[in-house]
Amino acid sequence: MTLSARILRNRYFLLVVVALLFSQSIFAQGVKFLNTDFDKLIAEAKRQNKLAFVEVYLNGCPHCEALAPVLTDKKVGDYYNPRFVSMKVEANSALSKALQNKQKLFYPEFPLLFYFDATGKLLHQATPAEKPNRTEFIEEVIRHAADAQSPEVRTSSYPTRYAQGERSVDFLIKYARYAQATRDTTLVIAIAGDLGKLFTQPTDLESTAGFYIISRLIPDFQNPMARYFFGHLDTYRSKHGTQPTQQAGESILFQTLYGKKSATLSSSDVVAVRQAMESLGIPANVAAMRTILKELEAYFRESNTAAATARFDECRRANALSLQDYAYLVRFFNERATDTSHAAPLVGWVNDALASLPPADRNKAEVAELYREQSEAYRRLDNKTEGKKAAEKALSIAKIAKVKLDSFVKQVGKF
C-alpha cells in the first residue's frame, strides 16, 4: 500500500471514529437543557407541542450535585426529551430571579423541579429525594415527570384533593412544599395545622419525619408541633444535632414574627417568642433587640402605651442603641402611641441619644429627626417654649444635612 493510500485509510478511519463518538454523544445524552430564558422556553414548548421543565439548583448544594449526573443519564434523557423542552437555572442567577418574579415562586429547598404547560401555567413541583443507588434515583426523576403529565396526580390537582378531605402525611408534606413554592403562606399555616393533628405522640414528633416537618414546614410558633419542639430542645439536639435544631427554632420564630400572622400577635405572644429565643441560647439582650419592634407594635395595638414605654426603657438599658435606632423608634412612638404617656420619657430618650454624640455627628439627618420628634413630644406635653426651640433646632440641622425640609417646616409651624 502506498503512503498516500495509507494516509487516506487512516483519515477515513479517524472520521468513522469521530462520527461514532459524535453519534454516541447525541444518543447517549441526558436531558437537553436549552440556553434560554423562561419566556423563550415556553414559546418553544408551544411550538413543539410539549411541556416545559425547569430545574432550579444552588451552587454548592450537595443534593443538587447528586442530581446532576442523573439528569445526564440516557434513560432520563430518553424520557424527558420527547415530552419536555428544558432549562436549568442557578438559584441566585438573573434568570432565576426573573422566573421567580414572573411565576411568583419561592424556593424552600434545593434542588427543585418545576413543570409547566405551554401557556406557562405551573402543573407540578417536586423535590427529588436522593436514592441509595443510581437506578432508583433515575426512576425517581422519571416518576416526577410522569406525575407532571397526570392531571389526577400532579400538584396542581392538590387543591381539589385537599378540599375533598385528603389528609395523608405524604400528601400534606407535598402540598405544604407546593404552597411554600407558590408563596401561599395562609395555606402553609393551614396544612401545618393539619400535620399538627397527625403528629401528636413523642415518638412521631421526635422522628426524622417529625423533625423534617418542624424544621421545614412549620411557620408558626403556636403550632402544637412547634410548642412540643421548644419544650424538648435537648431531645432534638441529641437526636438531630445542635445546629439543625438551632436553625429549625430560629426559622419558626422568624416566620412567626414576620410572617402573615405577625400583625395579629399579642404582646404575650411576642414575649413568648422572645423567651423561646432565649431557650435556644440567644442572649437575652440580643433576643430583646430582635423582638422589640414587634413587641411595641403589639402593645400599641392593645392601646397600652405605658407598657410599650416601659419595655423600650428596659430594652435600651440592656443594649447600646445606635443613633439610627433612636431616630426610628422615637418616631415610631409618636406615630403609634394612643395616649401621651410616652411623651415625657421620649424627651429623655432623645437627650440620652444626643448626650455622647461626637461633634462630627451632630449635624446628621438622624439628629434633625430626633429633635423633630422631641419637639412633638413637648407639644403633646403642652410645653410650647421647649417644643418650638426643638423644632427650630431640627430645621436648622436638616438644612445643613441637606434633607427634605417639609416635615421640619411643618413641625415649626405647629408652634
Q: Which pLDDT tens digit goes with each residue over 306-353?
A: 999 999 999 999 999 999 999 999 999 999 999 999 999 999 999 999
What is the spatial distance between Cα 308 and Cα 312, in angstroms, rounded to a whole number?
6
52 occurs within a structural domain: yes
Residues 6 or more apart whose CB falls under 8 angstroms from that of 29 comprise 72, 74, 77
79 occurs within a structural domain: yes
218 occurs within a structural domain: no
What is the spatial distance between Cα 73 and Cα 104, in angstroms, rounded to a whole number?
31
Instruction: Kindly report, residue by residue over 10-49, the tens digit of the pLDDT.
Output: 443 333 333 333 333 344 489 999 999 999 999 999 999 9
For residues 408 and 394, is the Cβ–Cβ distance under 8 A? yes
For residues 358 and 395, is the Cβ–Cβ distance under 8 A? no
For residues 270 and 291, is the Cβ–Cβ distance under 8 A? yes
Instruction: Kindly report, residue by residue over 65-99, the tens digit of the pLDDT.
Output: 999 999 999 999 999 999 999 999 999 999 999 99
Domain that holds residue 111: 38-149
**What average pLDDT does the segment 117-129 reach?**
95
For residues 261 and 190, is the Cβ–Cβ distance under 8 A? no
Select from 115, 149, 183 the last residue of a domain: 149
Residue 260 pLDDT level (bands cut at 50, 70, 90): confident
Overall domain count for the chain:
2
CATH number for the domain spanning 131: value is 3.40.30.10
Please provide the DSSP assignment of 330-395 as one string.
HHHHHHH-SSSTTHHHHHHHHHHHHHT--GGGTTSHHHHHHHHHHHHHHHHTT-HHHHHHHHHHHH
Centroid of chain to Cα 365: 32
372 occurs within a structural domain: yes
Select from 100, 133, 149 the last residue of a domain: 149
Select from 149, 168, 203 the last residue of a domain: 149
Indicate the DSSP class of residue 230. H
* Whether pTM exceeds 0.85: no
What is the spatial distance between Cα 351 and Cα 346, in angstroms, rounded to a whole number?
9
343 occurs within a structural domain: yes
For residues 373 and 346, is the Cβ–Cβ distance under 8 A? yes
145 occurs within a structural domain: yes
In the chain, % of residues over pLDDT 70 = 93
99 occurs within a structural domain: yes
CATH number for the domain spanning 394: value is 1.25.40
Q: Is the dihedral of CA 260, 261, 264, 268 positive or negative?
A: negative
Select from 114, 109, 108, 70 the least CA-distant residue to 89: 114
212 occurs within a structural domain: no
| C-alpha atoms less than 13 angstroms from C-alpha of 291 in its C-beta half-sphere | 33
